[in-house]
Chains A and B, each alone.
Chain A
Amino acid sequence: MRKEIIYQMGNTYRDDLNVYGYYFGKGEKSACIVGAMRGNEVQQMYVCSQLVKTLKRLEERGAFVSGNEVLVIPSVNHSSMNIGKRFWAVDNTDINRMFPGYDQGETTQRIAAGVFDVVQHYSYGIQFPSFYMPGDFIPHVRMMETGFQNPSLANLFGLPYVVIRKPKPVDTTTLNYNWQIWDTSAFSIYTNATDRIDEASAKQAVASVLRFLVRMGILRYTSHSGYIATVLHEEDLRNVKSDAAGICRRLAEPGEEVQRGDVLAEVLDPLEGEVISRILSPAGGILFFAHNGPLVMEGTIVFKIIKRLHQ
C-alpha cells in the first residue's frame, strides 16, 4: 500500500486540507473508490477505511492480480466533517456538484478538478454518496442513464438491487456522471446510513466491492456470490407521501414486503399525541426507502415502494 496526498489546499486559520489516496497493486488503472465527499458522510468514509484495511492485508498476502492498480480515497471533505457541516465549510457549496472541476476556478471547483485529475482514467469508478433526504435505503447500486451505463456490470457487486435513473441537469456536475462521460464505468453504492455508522451495511458494502474486484479479475479472493440483483428503473419506485404534518412513527422497515392497505406509519399531533393520519401502502411490493426523521412535513416522501415485487 502506498499512501499519498492526492490534493492539498492551504488554509490560514486551520490546518491544510490534505486529501489522501491509498494505492494498491501496480499497473493499469483498474478501479478507483471514493468515499465521503460531504462532511456528514461518516458511513461512506467508514466503509472506505474498512476497505483500505482489508485491501492492505490482501495485498500483503499477494492477492492482487499483477498489472492492476486500485486507488481508494476515503474522504475528500474532512474540513467540513470536522466542524459538522455537510457542504464546503466556507461557502456551503457541494464538491459533488462541481465536477469535472476547474483548476483556475472557485475553491470547490479547484478541489473537484484536483480530485478528478487523479481519479480519471480508471476502468471502474465506485463512489459512496448519500441522498439529500434523511432516510434508510435497501443497499443498492445506482447508475445514471448516460448512454454509457452498464447494468450487467453493476450486477457483479452482488447487492440486492441495481437502480437506474435518468440524470437531471443538476446531476451533470457529479463525479459519477463525469466518470461515465470520460470513459470510466461508474457506480454509486448506497448503504443504509450516512451520518451514523451501520456496521451491517458497511460490511455488506465492503464485501460487495471486494466481490466486484474479484469478478473483474483484479483481486484473488474467495467471496460469497451475493445476490443476483433485481434491476429497477427509478420510475418503478412509487412515492408514498405523508398527507399530514407532525411526529412520524414508522411501523415498517426498508426491505419489508407489504400489501396494499397496510399501515406503514402513523403521524401524531406533535402537541397532543393523538394519531392524526395513518400512512397506508398504496400498492403491494417491497419497501425500498423509508424516511427516518422523527418529524414530517405535509407531502414528505415517507416511503418508496418497489411495486409488485415479492421477496
Chain B
Amino acid sequence: MVKTVVSVGLPVDERLQIRKQVIEPEGYDGKGKRICIVTGTHGDELEGQYVCYELGRRVREQPECLRGSVEIYPSLNPLGMDSITRGIPMFDLDMNRIFPGSEEGPVPEYVASRIIKDIEGADLCIDIHASNIFLREIPQVRMSEMTAQNLLPFARRLNIDYVWVHGAATVLEATLAHSLNTIGVPTLVVEMGVGMRITTEYGCQLVDGIFCVMKDMGIWTGETIEPKKPIISTDGQVGFVNANHSGIFIPQVDHWDSIHQGEVIGEILNPLEGKVEEVLHAPCDGMVFTLREYPIVNSGSLIARVLGGDYH
C-alpha cells in the first residue's frame, strides 16, 4: 500500500510528495517488527532505486514468508531526483545536513521533521547512498564509533564487503542516520556504486543481505543466503589519495584492486600541453575501495581511498 509521508503544495499546480510503499502480511496484527529502507536523499544517487524495486518484488513473490512490516521509501528528495539535483532544488541545500528538521521551520526542515516522525518507532532503518558522481565505492556500511556497538551486529549480516567505523564529527549530527540513531531507531548507512548510475549486481548483493537481516529480526521466514563477512576497519587504516594538480585523471588500477605502497594509482594529464601533471601513488599496501570515476579534477579532488592491509 502506497502511503504519503509528507505533502507540500508547490507554487503552480503540483505537490511535493514523499511516498512510501508499506508491505505487510495479509491480516497483519502489527505485532511483528518493522524495517524501513530509505534512499534518494541526494537526487543524484540512484543505486538505491534498484534495491527498492528488487526488495519489493521479492517480498511480493513470497508473501507467505513475511511476518512484519517492510516500508520502502524510494525518494526522500523527489524533486532533486527528478531534476538530477543532488541537493534540494530551490534551496540549494544538502538534505542530509538538516535533520532532525523542525515542524515550525522552513519547508525543507518541515519535510525533514515529518520524515523522522514517520520512521520513528521502526526496529531498523537502512539508508542507502551512492557516493556522488565523482567517486565509485564498493558496497559498504559507514558508522560512527559511537554507534558501532549497536550497529555492527546488523552490518555484519548485510552481505556488504566493508564496514568503515569512522570518528564522530559534529557536522554529521545533522544527518538522517544520526537523528534516527539518537531517537532509538538503529540506522545503517550504506554507500555503494557511483552517482547517476545503477550497478545492479551491487543492488542484488544488498537485497540478499537485507533478507538475511530481516530473517534475523523475524520479519522474513523464506530462504536466505549466507552473507559475506565484511572487512571492518577504523579511520586509522584508511589512506587517502588527493590530486595536487588539475587536469584529467586516468586510473591505472581497477576499483577493488589490491595494491602495494608506492604503486601507481593513476596520472593527471594536461590535455592542452600534452604532459603528465602528476603521478599518484598508493599511500600504503591495501585495497582500493574508493576510486575516482569523474575524470576532471582540481587540486584537492579525492582520487582514491585505500584500506590498509593484505586483501589478496
**Size band of the interface chain A makes with B:** 35 or more
Chain A interface, DSSP helix/strand/loop, else mixed: loop
Report if A86 contacts B (CB, 8 A). yes
Given contacts A107-B298, A107-B301, A239-B104, contact A132 B93 (CB under 8 A): yes
- Whether A299 pairs with B110 at a CB distance below 8 angstroms is yes
**Which 10 residue pairs spanning A and B have beta carbons closest together?**
A298-B9, A245-B9, A107-B300, A169-B173, A295-B11, A110-B300, A12-B246, A169-B174, A172-B170, A107-B298
Whether, in the assembled complex, A91 has its beta carbon less than 8 Å from a beta carbon of chain B, the answer is yes
Instruction: Tell me how far the C-beta of A152 lies from the nearest C-beta in chain B, rounded to whole angstroms.
Output: 28
Q: Is B225 an interface residue (CB 8 A)?
A: no
When A133-B91, A297-B107, A298-B9 are in contact, do A91 and B170 touch as well, CB less than 8 Å? no
Chain B residue nearest to A89 in the complex (CB): B298
Distance, CA A247 to CA B271, complexed state (A): 49
Interface residue tally on B, bucketed by range: 35 or more
- A169 — nearest CB in chain B belongs to which residue? B173
Smallest Cβ-Cβ distance to B132: which chain A residue: A91
* CB contact between B299 and one of A10, A91, A92, A296 (< 8 Å): that residue: A10
Query: CB within 8 Å of A: which residues of B?
Result: 8-13, 16, 86-87, 90-93, 97-98, 104-107, 110, 132, 134, 170-174, 240, 242, 245-248, 270-272, 296, 298-302
Instruction: Tell me the number of A-to-B contacts counted with CB atoms below 8 Å.
Output: 102
A245 touches B10 (CB 8 A): yes
Contact, CB under 8 Å: A297 / B11: yes
Pairwise interchain contact A90-B299, C-beta atoms closer than 8 A: no
* Interface status of A149 (Cβ within 8 A of chain B): no
User: Do B106 and A301 touch (CB < 8 A)?
Assistant: yes
Does A170 count as interface, using CB distance less than 8 angstroms? yes
A297 & B299 in contact (Cβ 8 Å cutoff) = no
Of listed A9, A170, A173, residue having the most chain B CB within 10 A: A170
In the bound complex, how far is the Cα of B227 from the Cα of A265, in angstroms?
59
Say whether A147 faces chain B, with CB atoms less than 8 Å apart.
no
Which residues from A are CB-within-8-Å of B171?
Answer: 97, 169-170, 172-173
Closest Cβ–Cβ distance, residue B189 to chain A (whole Å): 16
Which residue of A10, A87, A92, A239 contacts B105 across the interface (Cβ within 8 Å)?
Answer: A239
- Chain A's closest residue to B44 (CB) is A92
A107: contacting residue among B93, B170, B299, CB under 8 A: B299
Kindly list chain A residues whose C-beta atoms are within 8 Å of the C-beta of B90. Answer: 297
B14, closest chain A residue (CB): A245
Cβ of A37 within 8 Å of any chain B Cβ, yes or no, is no
